[in-house]
Amino acid sequence: MIRPGTIAALTLLAPALAGAQIGVAPGANAADLIANAMSAAPSSLAAHATIMGWPNAEGAPMTTLREGTNGWVCYPDNPMSDGNDPMCLDPVWQEWMGAYMEKRAPRIERLGFGYMVAPGGAHGSNTDPFATGPTTTNEWGYDPPHLMLLVPDPAALEGVPTDRASGGPWVMWRGTPYAHIMVPLEGKPGGR
């Protein structure tokens, strides 16, 4: 899941996409960051993806660590968020991410796919796309490694649960322009 709070895991996503300073893990070199970013998706996809590094200050440009050839972009763990939350995003998710960071409605013209399958998962709000920490109402919790889906028609999300502990896919951030489907790949969502 893309996380607010830092440009914030773009962040997936995670708390990490919406406002705090972004940093690179102390001592991390480009090879470490690339390996971590590639752990977010199947190796056949990540091997040909562009790898971007987080800026070291809010508003600073991201750094291209490796050029890719398949249209996907992978990001290493966001050091400003809890957990290990690298992500790989297709072009639809990249548009979504840009809209999220600019706080505008994304243009979703076809299905979009994003991967956050590295061991570790992350924590974030299930209801508030810009939450940076838990409150009594924002359903803050753990999201295990997962696949993220965007759909062009928000009506397609009707009937999909919103409870991350439902045991299967759920809609995160329903009722906002940033609603998407989370498909957990291990463990019980919300359960750690």
pLDDT at 81: 78
Specify whether the CB–CB gap between 82 and 122 falls below 8 A. Answer: yes
Residue with tokens 């970013």: 37
Q: Per the confidence metrics, is the pTM higher than 0.95? A: no
Distance CA 87, CA 39 (A): 8
Q: Report whether 171 contacts 161 (CB < 8 A).
A: yes
Q: How many CA atoms lie within 13 A of 5 on its CB side?
A: 25
Tally of CA atoms within 13 A in the half-sphere of 125 that contains its CB: 23
**Dihedral sign, Cα of residue 164, residue 97, residue 8, residue 135:** negative
Closest CA to 53 of 41, 70, 69, 67: 67
**Burial track 92-119 (b if 16+ CB lie within 10 A, e otherwise):** bbbbbbebbbeeeebebeeebbbbbbbe
pLDDT in the model for residue 22: 31
pLDDT, one tens digit for every residue, the chain (192 residues): 444 333 333 333 333 333 332 333 556 799 999 999 999 999 999 999 999 998 877 788 889 999 999 999 999 998 777 788 999 999 999 999 999 989 999 999 999 999 999 988 788 999 999 998 999 999 999 888 999 999 999 999 999 999 998 889 999 999 999 999 999 987 554 444
Burial class (CB in 10 A: 0-12, 13-18, 19+), 14: buried
Domain boundaries, the chain: 30-184
